[in-house]
Amino acid sequence: MARSRKVQPLTWLGRPWRDRAWLHPLYGTATVYVAGSTIEAVVSAHPDWPVWAVGAATGLVGAATTAAGVLAAAGDRFTGWARGYLGAAGLAGGTWLTYAAVTSPYEPKAVVSALVGAALFTGAYPAVRHAQLEHEAHYRAVRARPAPPVAAAVPQFRNPEAARWEGLLASVGLAGCTYRDREENRAGFAILISLPTTGKVTYRQVVGKCDALEIATKMPEGTVHAERAVSPDGRTLASEVWIHFDVEDILTKTLPMPDDHTPLSINAAFPVGLFADGEPILLKLREIAMLIVGVRGRGKTNLLNVIIHQLSRCTDVVIWMIDLKGGRAAKPWLKPWLDGKVKRPVLDWVATTRTEAHRMLVGGHALIEQRANAGYGGSKVEPTRQRPAVIVICDEIAALVGQHARGQKGDGGPKLYDLIAQLTLDIQLGRSEAVDFVLATQRGTVTMTGSGDLKSQCELRAGLGVTSPQDAQSVFTGNAPAAKLLAKLKDKATRGAVLIQDGDGGRISPGKLHFYGDGDAMLANVHRAATLHANYPAPLDEAGARAVDAAVRKLYDGSGYSGDDGRWSAARAEHLYADDGLPPEFSDDEPAASTPAQPAVAEPTARASSRGGGSCRPGRSAPRGARRGSSRCTTTNGRRLWSISRSPGSRSRTRRHRPMWTATRP
């Protein structure tokens, strides 16, 4: 039902004496005439008053009546005509009064002028009044303000939880935000708020108040964080924000690496940890370059181990690794093969020198060209065991392409510029040919990553803890809220905590990575995985291997990728065979309680034995009907290359940032 609206009262000019309005000028003239007669009577009674003084006094009265006329019609409710008419009436009346005071109101000229004035003002009045009434009608329609609604006085029902949250938000300086919804998750809960429509509170301000909310709710540091809400059709909403309260504080927990050794596919996502709200972090390393940034001791090596563990479960992937720290990270993964316990290493190629890394990058480029020229799969290569993806993992890229990573003068090794250019080109061209990169560095600055171009190619970023907010900014360029959150992950308890950014919109979420173990425990875990996964990674396809071999032979000493003088030859890989620093054997902790299902993978070809200088012999084939891995993607959309699964059964109309596909893996 429409509410009746009262209008403000309008002017005296149109309203009072509405029925006899035409008499107004006559009343006015009569009033002035009576005033003139009164002045005459008073002056006659005082013959000693000088004429000039009487004239001046009435002149002042005239000026005052003129001003009164003009002021009476001030404001936007009167027309200009009304103001002119009243001003002129005041001026005429004042002038006449002055004249009548000095002479006499009964003198012929005074009488005639009074009559003429009355006639003129009476004649003009209807037009002035008509204009005024029209103006008032318009004013009433357009400008009249509604009276305050009576309903405002009636107390409204308030959801007590909404009132509590809005009160809390207001107490930390987020007044005007409206509580909309609450969603429980595995780590705690999240509330959805609408920002005030005045724009007085922005998303950034909410992020800035997370510290204050932690204090107000007595939560540990880093357990409250904000995330923009997303509409059901995937658009980020400017006015709605989820605030997460991670009661469980997953960021400070240690999440042991699941003892899962079943086979996977690179076309599906694999878990690497849990988001702060308890949902799994799933990575899909397809058509994307990943940049991992974290200062020493924040968990880079651990994350690389987790990634190698999961990649080496894939039956359609070839893993190459650049490890310029003398192979410290790669060697444990080679150990079962070096010990002769398995017939193939899970890492297909390891480069521990800049020269070998150059060979690898040039070989990668040859593979990309060979695949592009062959036109496999139309616009892009879909990895299979017959034509596997190649993932190049590089631990500490600063040692390879950083500003200070120059080789010895005259050592015949690659130039820094060549390495930067080759790596950048490979990342650019590799994605459609199933050649992708995982790069790790201590800082995200251009001096450490070689070039801005190279860094900008890495759409998937993972931040693992930095020393300063500036460093945090260099990971998630231009994203102050994320940088702030990353800079918070600095205490011991949050080691292995990560901030992960999706390439298609920059949304960032905190989480905790699975822990692969420390020291000997880590080495034992690696040994076990490298043993159990030995047959999973595919050999490089024959045509690709030939192209890589030919390209590598053009460099340096003419040795290649395959054959006796290939990548595993004593001349190039002898240092990897040295058993320094690694515990002797892990033979007794081999497949125990959770013996994995054997992979249903094709037996590596006999040709594989020749690659690897005779050391890389065919492994046993798996029994028929062996169980495949259960992880799968139901859908993906074009460029979205990794994402996050949503907890099932969410009721909210407005989603948190969650994906288009679901992983069914536990």
Ligand X SMILES: Nc1ncnc2c1ncn2[C@@H]1O[C@H](COP(=O)(O)OP(=O)(O)OP(=O)(O)O)[C@@H](O)[C@H]1O
On whether the CB atoms of residues 360 and 413 are closer than 8 A, the answer is no
Instruction: Rule CB under 6 A: choose which of 123, 297, 591, 614 binds ligand X.
Output: 297
Taking the least distance from each CB to ligand X, the nearer of 90 and 496 is 496
Q: What is the sign of the dihedral through the CA atoms of 242, 477, 319 and 397?
A: negative
* Least distance to ligand X, CB of residue 405, Å: 16
Taking the least distance from each CB to ligand X, the nearer of 328 and 632 is 328
Location of structure tokens 């403000």? 8
Cα distance between residue 358 and residue 54, in whole Å? 111
* Least distance to ligand X, CB of residue 516, Å: 8
* Least distance to ligand X, CB of residue 466, Å: 11
* Least distance to ligand X, CB of residue 250, Å: 11
Location of structure tokens 């080759």? 422
- Any contact of residue 520 with ligand X (CB under 6 A)? no
295 is in an annotated binding site: yes
Taking the least distance from each CB to ligand X, the nearer of 311 and 390 is 311
Cα distance between residue 363 and residue 348, in whole Å? 13
Stretch that binds ligand X, among 168-176, 299-307, 314-322, 614-622 (CB under 6 A): 299-307
Instruction: Rule CB under 6 A: choose which of 24, 298, 371, 455 binds ligand X.
Output: 298
Burial class (CB in 10 A: 0-12, 13-18, 19+), 635: exposed
Draw the binding track, 151-180, toward ligand X (x: CB under 6 A; -: no contact): ------------------------------
- Any contact of residue 526 with ligand X (CB under 6 A)? no
On whether the CB atoms of residues 307 and 393 are closer than 8 A, the answer is yes
- Which amino acid type is present at position 144? A
- Any contact of residue 301 with ligand X (CB under 6 A)? yes
On whether the CB atoms of residues 286 and 643 are closer than 8 A, the answer is no
Q: Is 76 left (phi over 0), alpha (psi -120 to 50) or beta?
A: alpha
Taking the least distance from each CB to ligand X, the nearer of 70 and 295 is 295
Taking the least distance from each CB to ligand X, the nearer of 515 and 536 is 515
* Least distance to ligand X, CB of residue 657, Å: 23
Token representation of residue 224: 């409250």
- Any contact of residue 402 with ligand X (CB under 6 A)? no
From residue 72, how far is each of 65, 68, 69 by CA, in Å? Answer: 10, 6, 5
Stretch that binds ligand X, among 370-378, 512-520, 624-632, 636-644 (CB under 6 A): 512-520
Taking the least distance from each CB to ligand X, the nearer of 29 and 302 is 302
Cα distance between residue 622 and residue 536, in whole Å? 10
* Least distance to ligand X, CB of residue 519, Å: 8
**Pairing between β-strand 236-245 and β-strand 188-194 as defined by DSSP bridges:** antiparallel
On whether the CB atoms of residues 622 and 599 are closer than 8 A, the answer is yes
Chain-centroid distance, C-alpha 266:
27
State which of positions 332-371 bind ligand X (CB under 6 A).
none
Cα distance between residue 283 and residue 530, in whole Å? 20
94 is in an annotated binding site: no
29 is in an annotated binding site: no
On whether the CB atoms of residues 322 and 392 are closer than 8 A, the answer is yes
299 is in an annotated binding site: yes
* Least distance to ligand X, CB of residue 311, Å: 17
Taking the least distance from each CB to ligand X, the nearer of 16 and 220 is 220
55: Cβ contacts below 8 Å, ≥ 6 apart: 98, 101, 102
Taking the least distance from each CB to ligand X, the nearer of 299 and 345 is 299
* Least distance to ligand X, CB of residue 157, Å: 47
Taking the least distance from each CB to ligand X, the nearer of 105 and 496 is 496
Instruction: Rule CB under 6 A: choose which of 209, 344, 387, 495 binds ligand X.
Output: 495
Instruction: Rule CB under 6 A: choose which of 78, 376, 515, 561 binds ligand X.
Output: 515
Residues in the chain: 666
Cα R_g (the chain), whole angstroms = 43
* Site residue total, ligand X (CB under 6 A): 14
- How many alpha carbons fall within 13 Å on the CB side of residue 316? 19
Draw the binding track, 235-274, toward ligand X (x: CB under 6 A; -: no contact): -------------------x--------------------
572 is in an annotated binding site: no
Q: Where are the alpha helices (DSSP H) in 383-475?
A: 398-401, 416-430, 446-449, 452-456, 469-475
- Any contact of residue 302 with ligand X (CB under 6 A)? yes
Taking the least distance from each CB to ligand X, the nearer of 298 and 657 is 298
**Nearest CA to 246 among 183, 340, 159, 156?**
183
* Least distance to ligand X, CB of residue 493, Å: 9
Stretch that binds ligand X, among 93-101, 213-221, 263-271, 298-306 (CB under 6 A): 298-306
- Any contact of residue 310 with ligand X (CB under 6 A)? no
Cα distance between residue 527 and residue 523, in whole Å? 6
State which of positions 64-93 bind ligand X (CB under 6 A).
none
Stretch that binds ligand X, among 224-232, 290-298, 595-603, 611-619 (CB under 6 A): 290-298
452 is in an annotated binding site: no
Stretch that binds ligand X, among 296-304, 361-369, 647-655, 658-666 (CB under 6 A): 296-304
- Any contact of residue 496 with ligand X (CB under 6 A)? yes
Chain-centroid distance, C-alpha 268:
25
* Least distance to ligand X, CB of residue 656, Å: 23
426: Cβ contacts below 8 Å, ≥ 6 apart: 361, 364, 365, 368, 392, 435, 437
Draw the binding track, 34-63, toward ligand X (x: CB under 6 A; -: no contact): ------------------------------
Stretch that binds ligand X, among 342-350, 513-521, 554-562, 649-657 (CB under 6 A): 513-521
Q: Residue 272 has what DSSP assignment? A: E
Report the residue closest to ligand X, judged by CB: 496
Cα distance between residue 608 and residue 541, in whole Å? 10
- Which amino acid type is present at position 584? P
Token representation of residue 423: 């790596």
- Any contact of residue 513 with ligand X (CB under 6 A)? yes
On whether the CB atoms of residues 297 and 325 are closer than 8 A, the answer is no
On whether the CB atoms of residues 78 and 132 are closer than 8 A, the answer is yes
Taking the least distance from each CB to ligand X, the nearer of 516 and 561 is 516
Location of structure tokens 């398995």? 342
Stretch that binds ligand X, among 1-9, 208-216, 295-303, 332-340 (CB under 6 A): 295-303
* Least distance to ligand X, CB of residue 295, Å: 7
- Any contact of residue 327 with ligand X (CB under 6 A)? no
Q: 3-state DSSP helix/strand/coil percent for the chain, to nearest 5?
A: 40, 15, 45
Cα distance between residue 188 and residue 245, in whole Å? 6
* Least distance to ligand X, CB of residue 354, Å: 19
**Pairing between β-strand 389-395 and β-strand 347-351 as defined by DSSP bridges:** unpaired
* Least distance to ligand X, CB of residue 388, Å: 27
Binding residues for ATP: 294-301
Q: Which residues bind ligand X (CB under 6 A)?
A: 254, 294, 296-302, 495-496, 513, 515, 518
Binding residues: 294-301
